[in-house]
Chains A and B, each alone.
Chain A
Amino acid sequence: MVVDNISNRKPQELEEQILAFIQRELLGPPDTVSRDDDLLSGELLDSVAVLRLAAFVQEEFRFSLGPSDFVVENFQNVAVLAEYVRSATAPAEPPSGDHR
């Protein structure tokens, strides 16, 4: 059985997935988005769109965002967001057991 550990994916993969979603669902031509574009300035996405993005990452990558996670630091741009997703889905540190 193969367990898909999301945090093990390459960051680039995550970024691409997120960019694709934004392009497809939240923007219409001729607008485009790249990994460094400011997502929160209001020019590219409005508040509603950002929330839909947040919903997407939770559903797609199977984790939950708490109210304290809805912060600028995590959603500034796609690069930052992908990194956040990776760390948020990393499994907890295994307890230091008998393996020395």
Chain B
Amino acid sequence: MTRFEPEGTASTHALTHNQMQIWIGQRLHPQSPLYNMAFAFVFPTHLRPDLFSEAWRRVAGGSDALRTRVPQPKDGGLPEATEGSTPATTTLDFGALCDPEGEFLRWCRQRSSHPLPLEGELVESVLVRLGEARTGWYLGQHHLITDAASTLLLYRQVAAHYQALRRDDREPPALSPYYPTVAALESEESQALEHWEIRQKRPGRSVSLYGRSAEPVGTASARHTLELDEGRSRGLDELSRQDGFRSLSPDLSRFSLFATLLLSWLHRISGSKDLGFDAPVAGRPTSEAKRALGLFIEVFPFAATVEGNETFRSLGTKCLQEAMLFLRHARPGMSSPSGATASNVVLNYFPGAFGPFAEVPAQIEWVHPGHGDSVHALRLQVHDFSGRGRFTLHFDVNEGVLPEGLRRRAVEHFETMLDASLEDPDRPIASVDLRSGEERRAMNSLGRIRSAATDSPAPADRTVVEIFDAQADLVPERVALRQGDAELTFAELRERSEALAATLLAQGLEAGDRVAILSRRSIGAVVAILATLRARGAYVPIEATAPRARREHLLEDSGARILLTGEGVVAAPRNPEVRVLPIAEGIESGRGPVDLGAGPSLDDLAYLIYTSGSTGAPKGVLIGQVGLADYLGWASRHYVRGDRLTFPLFTSLAFDLTVTSLFLPLITGGTLEIYEEPDGPVDTALMDVVQANAVDFIKLTPSHLSWLQGMDLEGSRLQRMVVGGENLRTQLSAAISAQLGNRVEIYNEYGPTEAVVGCVVHRYDPRADTDASVPIGIPTDHVRVAILNEALTPVPAGVPGELWISRYGLARGYHGLERLTAEHFAPNPHPNPRNPQRGLDRSGERWYRTGDLVRTVDESTLEYLGRLDRQLKISGFRVEPGEIETALLSMPGIERCVVVPWQQPAAAPPQDGEIHHCTRCGLPSNYPSSTFDSQGVCHMCRSYESTKAHAQAYFKSMDDLRAVFEESARRRESRYDCMMLLSGGKDSTYALCQLVEMGLSVYAFTLDNGFIAEGAKENIRKVTGQLGVAVEFGTTPAMNAIFRDSLMRFSNVCNGCFKAIYTLSMQRARELEIPIIVTGLSRGQMFETRLTEEVFRDGQRSPEEIDAAVLAARKVYHRLPDEVSRSLDVRIFQDDQIFEEIQFIDFYRYCDVGMDTMYSYLRRQVPWVRPKDTGRSTNCLINDTGIYIHKKERGFHNYALPYSWDVRLGHKTRQAALGELDDDIDESAVREILAEVGYDLETRTADQATLEAFYVASEGVSDRQLRRHLGEHLSPHLIPTRLRRVDSIPLTASGKVDVERLSREAHEGRPKTPYRPPEGPVEEYLTQVWQEELHSSCVGADDHFFELGGTSLAAIQVMLRLGREFDIDLPLDGMFSHPKLSALARVAEEKILEDVEGMAGEA
């Protein structure tokens, strides 16, 4: 028996689970029509308005759902549904208009785009006369009370009633059940819960389309409709009956089929393998529910992983299985709140058709309100509402996600996918080329060979030797090479290279033979290279600093018969057949008239350069003269442009990055400045280049570039800079560009060695380049690229894929490694049938697969995304972990090992376990290096017990303070006795009051850091007004930069702010000739910053000594190079005079009162009111932000220590301190402030990856032994920074090394150096610098730089900063000999002393 509550009963009920979600969604976007479900029906008949209205009234009146209202709930209450009066049908007449139907549809679209207010009627029914025998009906409902099934029911019920009324039937059809009782109650099936939990945590919940950000913006969504014709619809129907798609019912089969198509398409346009979408489930389990109007659907996640070789059918089978589970577990009430973990894609498959209305066929349009749920980037709706046997697909795409052109293209891609599936369901999904004709043309035009006819440069037609010779003819007297004082002109260089070439030929060198060159960078080395080329040989550069084993290997592998050695190099190759020939000797013996034959041709080999190999041995890349000439031709046109430039040679000759700088001057009439490798483990020649400032052009890696950060490059001669070798971060590029006054052209040059130095280039543009990494750009001359997926199918624009390169002069392959060569070099994967052998490469059309993941942005610029394999870039060098692992395994005792990249994490590790507090002072256990004894008392309380007496001596009385002022007045007459740093908080305000009570004339100075609460400013004005005290609000436009800097360095805001206050106030005090500055620093803060345990350890530190130490520290403090010193005028701090003119007094050194005393005084005596909006602080809104960041990045509250002191000193109760530490910080407010200040939480990652090796060893193998062994086999940059011994190497379920577990297991049990706080300004400075370079929160004075994960480059950085800071000359590799902080500090201190003594001696 169907129940319904008759009209007039005003009952209320709570919203159901799914109604709540919609209500919340609407509240978030109150003006948006996103939940309007609207239909426009057109009937080819006249519908009688009176009958229709009555039919409608009966249905609407008989259903509580349509009479629902949801008024605004009271504050904090939950919304409830109530019932209102029955909505009526409105009637309109468009018959008089000239296009009634068109007008009607337009009217419907307009209407649907207006939001339905929740408190009003949630349904609209409008009957519109369109003509004699034509009627339109607009039905609009809010999703709160309807779903598709409900709409179909509603339609049928109105039709049935209309029919009954027309026929004058007696029995009206049954009415709709009462929604609240029928709406399913929530169930708690555990299996289902588990199923959904797993789905919600999977990767792939949010998919990125065409490489765009996955975040939808706003609710505006555009609908693109695809009507499938009969052929496609029939084809789909047939497919749904085949194996792999067929299920229990036709609808289920179709749902599964569309799921398959959707996922295939998403896979291809996102490049992701783990995918999913949300889909609604009917939610009407009982037959009663099936007859009820109202909202029953719930949305659940559907997930699948697309493998590489997946076919449509295999994916179909997966979808069938997933669909089974999906339906099985979709219980009412189990769906997640929308937006929490929703997917950004929805599939709505609607079974069912409306059918005729009272025997009249209807024309149906589902009207799109122009808006949709903002959580969804894409909603795919599939229906056949009209029952014509043809599917209609609506692609509702959030407008913020894809622009219109891309939306259209997306639909085209879907169609292509659909057709492919119909044609051959057993075809691999990855093999379908989705691109439209237009796309193909655009992608292929990414670098087309240019023919001479179109005024573009033709490919190289002369070798570099010939071009050099031509230059030598032109400018024989010009200096070509310079090294120190030695110079070589073009003519001389030519002569010598000819001589050496003659010797080589006399030694029997034939075309294609390899000549190894083992030399430091020198004039001789350049001669040797040129000579080899001239003699038609291929030069094989071997680093003079390479370990012996490597040198031997390269020599042997290359098959070189001649080894040219540079000055000072002694070589004894194992192979006796190798002729060792010192370069100088070779030149000498070749002098005299020579016949060098025809000289090299473009078909000859040019060089053989080795890169890291994954199987352990490095592989040699063979580059021919043609490639070298072609690259250099382009580089000359692009970088040199006919100018005469000076280039530096300062990078390894064995690195093909160097080829550019080495050859360009020689072929353009420029000059090459040679900087030899300095002694020591790291090649720091770059520093010499910068210092000498003799070059106009430089090519270097990003790692090199980072050394230049912070250096003064104002006067640099550089005009053009090329960066290559590894990913270039925009931050770095911007910083360097700015340092160079933004007047240098900066190029990001990408290219694997196999594609000859560089083949894709982009000029850095500070305004346009805003992503994290600088794009790599577009292909250079005579280069073609393709971006392919795993199935070697070209990807659509914007989708990530592997980069393949073809170029003129592509590498011939890997020397002696045929199989590897075949794996990496292939013929064109997609030859153009019309133009088969349009070979770019002189040896036929060949392509190189790079293993780099890229995608296009802006249709043509390439963006580098990372590697597809294990290969890494460390300091610009290719590193195959396999090579290092092989070297490790060759050490006896090592059984298994794995090498992984490792980045020092920027954030503090998460806190394990509970935090407890000192029973006396409340210090939390997460405070670094805190220890607690058996009574729960912290180490600080214990040590204070013993130092208390001494500490007390430091504190004085108010009488002493009076004495200070009297003394000062005697010394100097001034208008003001002192300046008070007035923050507006309780401490400084109280102090001000006391000073005034003492009868002093005070000048109040406040720093308005941009975040001072209005309440605090009010306090300041009122209090100073009442006291009759002059007040000044100081500001600086650099405050945000200072905050950023403080957050970066200390993870707080107070440090930067304090320093700004000190700096500005001192300047002002000097201007106003005020002799004393009074601070409101609390005693707790004094203990925290200067009265530390060490100070009192021997009981020797008298107050005077402490004061002196504090002053010394203050001087260093004001001279530290940080944002404050950069942005504020700090010249006055450079000498000591100002510290003699102005004295700092801490009020609370003399005054001992507790918090309560202060508050009660302030309440009684002055109009000071504690601001409400400042959180923990009593004056400042940004304080909480600092606390938040500090907790997040360092793992503990930055006020933990000072508060514990307040308790220890009796100024605060422990309870109060604990309460203050237990902050509830408004995270959204913090983020707003961070955005205002410009601090980006996300980019705090270390720029340099290093390597970490885990090994299992049978017996005792020491770190030192390991390192020595590795040093003999590997180049320095390949040696892992950290070597960790483990018991076993755990694997994940898929058989890969479980790196996370490894890291965790290895960290435990590693003995840490006990923490010792720094002593003295040098150790203090070093601690700060180390912390920044190591991205560590806590560095102790006994710590070891490399054990903490420091890289050799970071070590150099530290030495540079240390030297600059104290203005001393330190060896750049000092860290290697003194890796311990205290030892390094001693070295610096000695140097400082030396300098001081030296100066004293000169006086």
Contacts and interface: CB of A to CB of B under 8 A. Distances in A.
A73 B256 CA distance: 19
A27 B320 contact: no
A13 interface: no
B284 interface: yes
B320 A47 contact: no
A38 to B, nearest CB: 11
A33 to B, nearest CB: 11
B249 interface: yes
B285 A46 contact: yes
A47 B280 CA distance: 13
A23 to B, nearest CB: 12
B1377 interface: no
Contact of B328 (A26, A48, A67, A71): A48
A20 interface: no
B249 A40 contact: yes
Contacts of A75: 248
Nearest to A41: B249
Interface string A45-65: 011111110010000000000
Nearest to A52: B328
Contacts of A55: 328
Given A31-B287, A70-B248, A71-B246, A48 B320 contact: no
A69 to B, nearest CB: 10
A49 B290 CA distance: 13
B328 A28 contact: no
A42 interface: yes
A27 B286 contact: yes
Contact of B282 (A27, A31, A48, A67): A48
Contacts of A31: 287
Which of A26, A49, A52, A70 gathers the greatest number of chain B CB atoms within 10 Å?
A70
Contacts of B282: 46, 48
Contact of B251 (A42, A67, A70, A72): A42
Nearest to B351: A42
A28 B247 contact: no
Contacts of B288: 28
Given A67-B317, A67-B320, A50 B248 contact: yes
Contact of A27 (B243, B287, B321): B287
Interface in B274-299: 281-282, 284-288, 290
A32 to B, nearest CB: 11
B908 interface: no
Contacts of B287: 27-28, 31
Contacts of A27: 286-287
Contacts of B290: 46
B763 to A, nearest CB: 56
B324 interface: yes
Contacts of A72: 248-249
A70 B281 CA distance: 20
Which of B249, B284, B324 gathers the greatest number of chain A CB atoms within 10 Å?
B249
A51 B317 CA distance: 17
B249 A48 contact: no
A75 B324 CA distance: 15
B252 interface: yes
Contacts of A51: 248, 324, 327-328
Contacts of B183: none
A48 B248 contact: no
Contacts of A70: 247-248, 320, 324
Interface residues of A, number: 20
Given A67-B317, A71-B246, A72-B248, A28 B330 contact: no
Contact of A47 (B246, B252, B286, B321): B252
Which of B247, B251, B281 gathers the greatest number of chain A CB atoms within 10 Å?
B247
Contacts of B327: 47-48, 51
B248 A71 contact: yes
A68 B246 CA distance: 9
B985 to A, nearest CB: 63
Contacts of B317: 67
Interface in B317-343: 317, 320-321, 324, 327-328, 330
Given A28-B286, A51-B327, A51-B328, A67 B321 contact: yes
Contacts of B252: 47
B285 A49 contact: yes
B755 to A, nearest CB: 48
A67 B318 CA distance: 10
A48 B287 CA distance: 13
B324 A48 contact: no
A91 to B, nearest CB: 27
A68 B320 CA distance: 10
A50 B249 contact: yes
A71 to B, nearest CB: 7
A40 B249 CA distance: 7
Nearest to B352: A42
B330 A48 contact: yes
B247 A46 contact: no
A67 B256 CA distance: 13
B482 to A, nearest CB: 76
Contacts of B247: 70
A38 B1052 CA distance: 71
A47 B284 contact: no
B285 A47 contact: no
A40 B246 CA distance: 14
Which of B284, B286, B288 gathers the greatest number of chain A CB atoms within 10 Å?
B286
Interface string B349-378: 000000000000000000000000000000
Nearest to A40: B249
A49 B288 CA distance: 14
A28 B324 CA distance: 23
A55 B329 CA distance: 11
Interface string A71-87: 11001000000000000
A42 B248 CA distance: 11
Contacts of B324: 51, 67, 70
A52 B248 CA distance: 13
Which of A47, A49, A70 gathers the greatest number of chain B CB atoms within 10 Å?
A47
A63 B17 CA distance: 36
Interface string A1-39: 000000000000000000000000011100100000000
A48 B286 contact: no
Which of A27, A40, A46, A68 gathers the greatest number of chain B CB atoms within 10 Å?
A46
Contacts of B286: 27-28
A55 B288 CA distance: 23
Contacts of A26: 285
Interface in B1167-1198: none
B284 A46 contact: yes
B246 A48 contact: no
Contacts of B281: 48
Contact of B285 (A40, A48, A68, A71): A48
B18 to A, nearest CB: 16
A80 B282 CA distance: 27
A28 B284 CA distance: 12
Interface string B209-243: 00000000000000000000000000000000001
A46 B243 CA distance: 22
B1034 to A, nearest CB: 70
Nearest to A26: B285
B317 to A, nearest CB: 7
A49 to B, nearest CB: 7
6 contacts: A28-B288, A51-B248, A51-B324, A67-B324, A70-B320, A72-B248
- Across the A-B interface, the 10 shortest Cβ-Cβ residue pairs: A28-B286, A51-B328, A48-B327, A51-B327, A31-B287, A47-B252, A40-B249, A47-B327, A50-B248, A70-B248
Interface of B: 243, 246-249, 251-252, 281-282, 284-288, 290, 317, 320-321, 324, 327-328, 330
Given A48-B328, A71-B248, 17 more contacts: A26-B285, A27-B286, A28-B286, A28-B288, A40-B249, A46-B290, A47-B251, A50-B248, A50-B249, A51-B248, A51-B324, A67-B317, A67-B324, A70-B248, A70-B324, A72-B248, A72-B249
